[in-house]
Structure 1
């Protein structure tokens, strides 16, 4: 069973009521502190004004300066509070989107993995078994004395196969219930056995059915064209007689159905004169267990894999064919961008503050537009690639940023430069592979723009007439 998709651990999510209540309680605890600071400063100014009421010139100068500073502080606090509200609200929004997108990606990975999940069909190589009488000795007690007894016992030995010619045809279908891949296997094999022993004639040809099958039909074993019958249910050992120096051929055939992987296991035996041909009639098939096939070529929509071992070869891992789903790329990119989105917004809004006269209304609209663009990117990237989606969205963002110039061309151009260097390029930098290079270019463009704007006095729109 695959685990269900989980969100990013420790990340706040607006869909979790407990986290919302906790965060709301923290905000309520911060408001009294802010009110105390602002109110305390106002009370202090009022007390100073009352104490200097008899000295009118000094009072007017002192009070005038402090009232001006106090008004500037209040305006600054308004902007700071608005930016903090946008940052905190944007963080909760983007962290929620990051969790959602992470869940979508994990669900997609799980869905792809489940299509090729399940037990594998594993066919083990047959064994030719014979028994010999082996002498051994043991000690026993007779009439209180230790007596050594010599006896014989039967010991199993195995004869190496002289040759294996295996042909497998694999077809794939989908399970209607869970949409998993199902293999249908048509297996035919010929095994050559040569009696290289001088004093043994009785053998057992043991060929187990494939492991992991859900359906097995038409299983039969033939020796030199004669079908061998099972003596006991579940017993796949067939006795036969072969004189020294003679050879015989066994043919095994069956049709099976099972999981989306078929492999052949040599069980540690030496393979000689071995040839395995596996034909997959479906696309996206690949060889399993890293045992490279001798030959691999396309046939129609499928692929024919061939393993040939002429000399003695020992293969430890089972090898065969499985359905390849291909690598799932570009995961985790958008959640990373969404987690860093508040920092990108702060980067952009600081550039705007250092370049344009920003009002509370403009800051609020700019924040709403920025996070709305990221919200659109999150859902649009599920339909098209994220870089292409951001290209389309950034055109809208640039068009809206032009309005920050308040009908002043130079101010509008400054807003476009700030938007490109502070929003468009940084987001692109977190979407494309060359993130470090793109973010460096965005940072350099931001620094150059601020230097040109303030040190050299370029793009000064104060003297330009309103259009």
Structure 2
């Protein structure tokens, strides 16, 4: 059963109407709280200003103390502007990234579902024929007659089976599109088999050949069973049991042919029988064919546009699992990488912003532009990775990011510092989440960031503040 594609559970997704309403309600509530806080702060500042003007006339020393406190409070308010802006960018970026992560996860699941659906469906399973005969076997049982227990001796009919001495099977398979579903494939199988049988029984010459049709077919035609060139007829129409006679110590051959249409997998089921002098050759006339059920073929070679798989068992072999061929789909690798990166993107942005704060002077407009550029690159990476390799997409985006980051500097030194912060704080961490060795790349990015901050602040490298 193919599971319908769905997003990541419990993750905010602003493309959903109900979540937009919930998010709007939260924004309104926070806005009202912010308005209340601003009003309280305004009243507090007005009272402090009135007190300051009164104390300056009557008590100079308390006035000086309150004046210093107001100055510090004003500096705190200026710092809060940066904090409020950063929090606003982080919150908006978080909801943007969670929405993108949900959409990308949905897209990955839809792609996996589409690939699985192209080869999904019932399989064509041919069960090995059986040769059945009946014997009369004595048996006894006890029954009560009146007040006595009487033992009764009778004869009953018991089925026995004669093993095939040889099987030579040839199957040609064509893969075509399902007329009901364009994105799904089906098989057209042309089956030809010859079976050898030797009657080693001395007192039995009446047998039944049971040749079941393939399981899972949607169309079966030209089903025919022959014995030494003579076509056999079943006991009853619609049944697949064919009576025949075979004298003791004689050999006979059966030929079974049919054409069937069914799901994109063909297998042969030995049904618990011992296979002797067995040869199965399956020609899959289409690309991406592979052997099924883990039973490795004796030989597999390219033939025309397809592959011929051959299983050869000369001596007695018991094969429990059905074996055959199926259409192998391309392996879908590296799923879940972009959703994980998107969920961690706000944290990466915060780390990059802290590096910039500790390295170069940052104004409010610089913070706002930095946030916009970062999340714009994340948005571009999300959609470019659907059509090209994510590592290549991020390499191209990184060049654009470096060019734009150069403008953060007021001179050459600050621009170089911004470039270093961008490489260690944004480009390498995101690249680390895209490549195989994520831990090594992230460790390198963290070490380079720590080294840069130490050299910049402890050793006085780049006197940026005096030159900016």
TM-score range, shorter chain: over 0.9
**2:459 counterpart residue number:** 456
- Equivalent positions of 1:267-286 (< 5 A) are 267-286=271-290
- The 3 A distance-change label for structure 1 pair 213 and 6 is same
**1:312 counterpart residue number:** 316
Measured after TM superposition, the shift of residue 46 of structure 1 is 4.4
Measured after TM superposition, the shift of residue 202 of structure 1 is 0.7
**CA–CA separation in structure 2 for the residues paired with 1:2 and 1:38:** 58
**CA–CA separation in structure 1 for the residues paired with 2:294 and 2:371:** 53
Measured after TM superposition, the shift of residue 297 of structure 1 is 1.0
The secondary structure found in structure 2 opposite 1:199 is: coil
**CA–CA separation in structure 1 for the residues paired with 2:321 and 2:254:** 24
RMSD: 1.7
Does the CA contact (< 8 Å) of 2:275 and 2:317 recur in 1? Answer: yes
Please tell me whether residue 334 in structure 1 is matched to residue 338 in structure 2. yes
Measured after TM superposition, the shift of residue 3 of structure 1 is 2.2
**CA–CA separation in structure 1 for the residues paired with 2:206 and 2:334:** 61
The secondary structure found in structure 2 opposite 1:52 is: helix
The secondary structure found in structure 2 opposite 1:336 is: helix
TM-score scaled by length of structure 2: 0.95
Please tell me whether residue 410 in structure 1 is matched to residue 413 in structure 2. yes
**2:172 counterpart residue number:** 169
The secondary structure found in structure 2 opposite 1:331 is: coil
**2:347 counterpart residue number:** 343
Measured after TM superposition, the shift of residue 70 of structure 1 is 1.4
Measured after TM superposition, the shift of residue 56 of structure 1 is 4.4
Please tell me whether residue 238 in structure 1 is matched to residue 242 in structure 2. yes
**CA–CA separation in structure 2 for the residues paired with 1:380 and 1:90:** 19
Does the CA contact (< 8 Å) of 2:123 and 2:263 recur in 1? Answer: yes
1:378 aligned to 363, 377, 382, which one? 382
> Deviations for 1:29-55, whole angstroms, at most 9, x for unmatched residues?
445264377457536734753773444
**1:20 counterpart residue number:** 20
Q: Where does the alignment leave 5 or more consecutive residues of structure 2 unmatched?
A: none
Using the TM superposition, name which of 132-141 and 210-219 deviates more: 132-141
Using the TM superposition, name which of 34-43 and 351-360 deviates more: 34-43
**CA–CA separation in structure 2 for the residues paired with 1:290 and 1:36:** 73
> Deviations for 1:305-325, whole angstroms, at most 9, x for unmatched residues?
111111111111000000000
**2:327 counterpart residue number:** 323
Measured after TM superposition, the shift of residue 456 of structure 1 is 1.0
- Equivalent positions of 1:384-395 (< 5 A) are 384-395=388-399
Measured after TM superposition, the shift of residue 16 of structure 1 is 2.1
- Equivalent positions of 1:73-222 (< 5 A) are 73-178=76-181, 179-222=183-226
Measured after TM superposition, the shift of residue 137 of structure 1 is 1.1
Measured after TM superposition, the shift of residue 355 of structure 1 is 1.0
Measured after TM superposition, the shift of residue 229 of structure 1 is 1.9
Does the CA contact (< 8 Å) of 2:360 and 2:464 recur in 1? Answer: no
**2:7 counterpart residue number:** 7
Q: Where does the alignment leave 5 or more consecutive residues of structure 1 unmatched?
A: none
Measured after TM superposition, the shift of residue 301 of structure 1 is 1.8
Please tell me whether residue 444 in structure 1 is matched to residue 447 in structure 2. yes
Does the CA contact (< 8 Å) of 1:426 and 1:438 recur in 2? Answer: yes
- Equivalent positions of 1:219-230 (< 5 A) are 219-230=223-234
Does the CA contact (< 8 Å) of 1:203 and 1:241 recur in 2? Answer: yes
**CA–CA separation in structure 1 for the residues paired with 2:269 and 2:180:** 31
**CA–CA separation in structure 2 for the residues paired with 1:44 and 1:66:** 13
Using the TM superposition, name which of 175-184 and 79-88 deviates more: 175-184
Does the CA contact (< 8 Å) of 2:385 and 2:393 recur in 1? Answer: yes
Does the CA contact (< 8 Å) of 1:45 and 1:66 recur in 2? Answer: no
The secondary structure found in structure 2 opposite 1:156 is: strand
- For this pair of structures, how many residues does the alignment match? 464
**CA–CA separation in structure 2 for the residues paired with 1:18 and 1:171:** 49
2:361 aligned to 353, 357, 360, which one? 357
Measured after TM superposition, the shift of residue 22 of structure 1 is 2.7
The secondary structure found in structure 1 opposite 2:445 is: helix
**CA–CA separation in structure 2 for the residues paired with 1:443 and 1:41:** 43
The secondary structure found in structure 1 opposite 2:5 is: coil
**CA–CA separation in structure 2 for the residues paired with 1:366 and 1:287:** 54
**2:60 counterpart residue number:** 57
